[in-house]
Structure 1
Amino acid sequence: MSCCAHGVELAAAIGRASSQDEIALASRDLGNGSWQTSLSVPDMHCGACIQSIEGALSRLPHVERARANLTTRRVAVTWRGKAPPDMISALAAVGYKAHLDEAEDRSFDPEMAHLIRALAVSGFAAMNIMMLSVSIWSGAEAETRQAFHWISAALALPTLFYSGGVFYRSAWTALRHGRTNMDVPISIGITLAFGLSLYDTLHQGHQAYFDAATSLIFFLLIGRTLDHAMRQRARSVVRSLLRLSPRGATVERPDGSRDYLPIGEIEPGMAIILAAGDRAPVDGQVVSGSSSLDCALATGESMPVAVAAGSFVQAGALNLSAPVRLMATARARDSFLAEMTRLMEAAEDGRARYRRIADRAARLYSPVVHLAALVTFLGWMAASGNWHNATSIAIAVLIITCPCALGLAVPIVQVIAARRLFDAGIMMKDGSAIERLAEVEAVCFDKTGTLTIGTPRVDLRGVSPGALEIAAALARHSNHPVSQAIAMAAPGAAGRRLDASDVTEQAGLGLEARLDGRRFRLGRASWALGMQDATDGTVLSCDGREMARFEIAEALRPGAAETVKLLRHAGLSVEILSGDRPSAVAGIAKALDIEDFAAGLMPGEKVARLAAAKAGGRRTLMVGDGLNDAPALSAAHVSMAPATAADIGRSAADFVFLHDSLVAIPVALDIAHRANRLVRQNFVIAIVYNALAVPVAMAGYVTPLLAALAMSVSSIIVVANALRLRPAGPTVEKVASIPVERMSMAAAK
């Protein structure tokens, strides 16, 4: 065998090994030594294909069964062993290409790619046409001038259709629905400039304004691309923070076999094996087993909830300690998660009606520009009777009043603001959010995971060193949040070590160990003391006698107290809306000196309270982290969530702050007010520019080319003004210097 052939075989072997490793990593453990792999087979087209695919895979060693789905063109293969069978090669041998199911690729943004290509085309054309125009201005001969005009027309035409199409499509959509926007005068201006230039070229004219039309498109596309880039960058960062939500579950069949089914295929009555560390994919009832569930993301309950046979479990709850068998009681579309999604969509529809500053300005801008151009054309026609001259001056009016400055006024400030927020550890999801944040008059906080860090804190007062040493030794054998809190609270009590075989954990109850012939228990008071009527709490007992009682509380999130003070100093009202127990909410409210709070709220009740505030004319900032907060985050005027929030909560929020400290809230408010002020300044600049330039253009002293240059100067001024955005800084001391009157600007309106 030649070296070349040997090398090819070696490369193929390495490729197969790599593929097998990927399959092993992508396979799901069904328990009892079984694994399931899902493969995509795009060439599957008919029943005969199903038989061929299932037959080829079933003949492989260690494959228990293969089930193909023609609708989704996927095949689920259940196998045993330490390494997966070579399924891809087996399918290739019978003529079918297969690959692992891949997550949707969200890194490619087709709209952004189109904008960049359009910007590149217009930039290339504008620069080259401008170079040809310099030669024409320098006094080129008639033949040369005419040739350069035709070359400019050839460059401008594809620019008009491809790059200008961005504005044409938007303008046509607006006009078709009986409204107007800033893209309407843009489309009319560039079309007329190109049309008149083409007319002059055909009739051997001295001037043509192809450079004005292409430069106009180029500068406007800069603003459009910046706006889109800012939004997509923020969204991609938020997506990178998302954790994978349950996409399916391990289902146990009546014959005892297990399958991993997509969440959409789970029906009521199916038995679901919920392993420790998994989230419940649908609503269900515990059939067997006992464990502790973290329901904070779903209900706001700060302490783990013990469940046993008969207990109901909501979708999204996290199983903490031991496997349980659930019976599904609802389909995915009818589960608690689906209800939260429907509430979010309803709230999002209401927020979508918010009109951005640029949109509001466009409603006034477009009619004024059209009227000015029409009056100019009619006036010059009446004065001179020369339609060519009248059209040229009207085009100059359209171009000089072109909303480049307006088009850049908002996106350039938002791009700078997004950067400043990023420097402070805050991600912005939507450009309009920075405008809405500057208008808030009240701030509503969730409690668990927002004002608190969601991790229990243990009060060791009254606990003897000996009892603490035993409790810490027991606690180190459990992953339960309360056990971890006790172990972390006693770093110096590490003298006693217990062998794992000496300690047993009773799911939902606590830990038990025998030391020197005595039985020690750490857990629920009723279990540890053997008394059903014992006062609830966490207790360490020795042979049924109480040795120590641990008071469990939540730790405040860093910067919580300072943030509440700063918000109050800024004239904003502060309230807590929580689904947790009244006693727990009252304790946190007292610690932070917050008078207005509500406990035990369901997600719909939070939305109702925010809707009532909105109906009363009060704009609210909602800060939350849980699944139960997601509808409220969408319903609020603007919303924020920490990076540790639930997946759906981060998706619903307008801002995500990456650091632990809540000081991110006043920092974001400061940047929002500064950005809002700069946007308004940019609009003033654009208005003053138009007020000075339009009369000069209407008087006939400006050619379309000079109009394009003047428009460019106004855009540069707007960009330079936006670069002045400087926040107070991401520290409490600097944020404390924010003037009250500025942060409560909206309240004074």
Structure 2
Amino acid sequence: MSCCAAGTESAAELEALKSEGPSAEEIWLSSRPLGDGMRQVDLIVPGVHCGACIALLERELPRTPGVDHARVNLSTRRVSVVFENKAGAGSAAPISGSHAETVLTALAEKFKALGYPAHLPGGGEEGADPAFRELLKALAVAGFASMNVMLLSVSVWSGADDTTRDLFHWISALIAAPALAYSGRIFFRSAWDALSHGHANMDVPISLGVILAYAMSLYETITHGEHAYFDASVTLLFFLLAGRTLDHMMREKARSAVRNLVRLSPRGAMVIRDDGSRDYLALDEIEPGMRLAIAPGDRIPVDGRVVSGRSDMDFAVVNGESAPLPVETGSLTPAGTLNLTGSLVLEATKSARNSFLAEMVSMMEAAESGRAGYRRIADRASAIYAPVVHLLALGTFAGWMMATGDWRMAMMTAVAVLIITCPCALGLAVPVVQVVAAGRLFENGIMVKDGSAMERLAQTDHVVFDKTGTLTRGRPQLVNAAAVAPENLAIAARIARASRHPLSQALASHDTAGELMPDFDIIETPGEGVEAISPEGEVYRLGRAMFALDGHNQGLDQAADASQVILSKNGVFMDVFLFSDQLRRGAIQAVARLAALGLDAEILSGDREAPVRALAGELGLASYVAGVRPRGKVDRLKALAEAGGKPLMVGDGLNDAPALSAAHVSMAPASAADVGRMAADFVFLHDSLEAVPLAIEVSRKAGSLIRQNFALAILYNCIAVPAAVLGHATPLIAALAMSSSSVIVVLNSLRLRRKTRIEHFARGAVSRITPALPGEARAESSLRTSA
């Protein structure tokens, strides 16, 4: 079985794509900004078959002027291209005559020139599987032909006379020819596309082997030879197709998590117009600001906010919990969640391509695209495969000709070498494990942004935790509201509305005015607090004591275990607000499990010494540092790295983003701020912190399986290649051996799908607060948790 896989389009569809393809403007509208004048677009490229295809595209596409880099995902056949956007136009703006149009036009032409037609995602690519249908039809035809040719061959082997033998050979040739043409087109089409554009892929030697086997048999038939190999050529094709079909099925099984996630997205929604009329719009046509009518039983199409109605909703895709949660006016609803009981009217807050569900799908698909060390080794081996195998087959033919003078024997041995040396197992060793591991993690509420992140997570030897929102639930409660002056509480609550910090959000819930300070300039300093400057020049500060009081504590109680937020005016103390927070579910178990895995853990927090020390004692952690600024967290991580460590940073806040980027590998909860979540390599959706040791154990198991796969692939080549070169393997045996090696590697990878004790972490009580959405405020629940 080749590591190649048939494209998702038929031959006719591929030809149509070659002639059409997306325009520069269509590519532009499907792209998304990355910042720093760069944009990214994802394209479907059905012609991507193997490691050689990946190497070619990732080498040639960046040579297009204006293209920064490209990454190819073999399982999804998606190519992510990052390109320059010097014009800086908006995503919906026309690009006629701009620099971006020049870049994207050149990019589209580059795809065509390389022989890899591309099209935009969509069009039901997640529905029916045309590639699988084509493979099954080809397999059926090859199987039918091989059985009939085999029956005729039995008669020849039984001692038929010359005339009868020639007749049976001609009948076999007539049966085999259309079967090879129809069933072999999957290989021939790919090989021809590669050769016609000046490069080779793994289908070239396979096609050559099948054609040579038939050509030798036809020559023997024309010259009235005693032996013909029509049965071998057709059966060879049958086994190659059987292996490829199994490969396709296993890849689809490995990608089931992505496919099932995509299916949570509806095709569209009923939009309520300003005049009250209703129109059904396709998913891609829904824009932020539109009002959507959601009936009971409907999936939420895009991220939105409830503007009217009450209902219970299934948030399992967000928090992994099966119990429904209530939503009402103001509640946030992520794409993919299920409305259960009541009718709702939502206001769309994001488009489909930027929704929570799209982000989750994007992270799942990115899991295979990372170029980790193991993946680079496999890609380099696959890239040099074509020239090496052809030289080896040619050398085998020449050697047998010199040794025996029998060109038939030499040719059949060379054909066996062409077939048996395909590095399918090596090409599959890494990506299948990465896809299966990403699916396994997703089933446990953990999203992976990059396949290389799993390799880095398996290497981690030290875990660094943020405190608020990470080790704690990030839902603090104000505990001294009755003791503070009402006017001070009102001022602080309105200033706090400008911040996404959990303590600020807890204060903001006490704001009855519902708006920011009028005409005030609001400035937030991550890790410090919020500053509000009035039109008269009065400066209010809300945050850490040293920030609010210009470096002075002014006699504050530093021994209190509660977290403190100070309100000041012009540097003079006004009031102090005390908060308590609940420990995040699974935190104690997670720390214990990390210790059992041999990992050290510590807390880095910007909070005061007393509450951090109390939390460390509750968790059984001996190492903690309090009062740390964002720069201090980065410095600590760099110090660990310089000492030879590979730290994992787990954090959630805006102030954690630099540390998440600086760490060897990082993880954040889905409730994290946008910038923090985007900086992390892993995002866990469940409320339980046991996601951290679970991800480490799955990543370690994935690394072990990758190494096993490499060992199996190397062992196969060490045995099979010499056997073929020495003439101990016929083409048919070579096809069986090649298919078996790939199947063994894939089956070994699928062992990661088996549930083990690491997945049975306690779920605990269902959260009573509407789950937080990435980059959005938490929806208020009618139920409250105690402090």
What TM-score does the superposition give when structure 2 sets the normalisation length?
0.48
Q: In terms of Rg, which structure is larger? A: 1
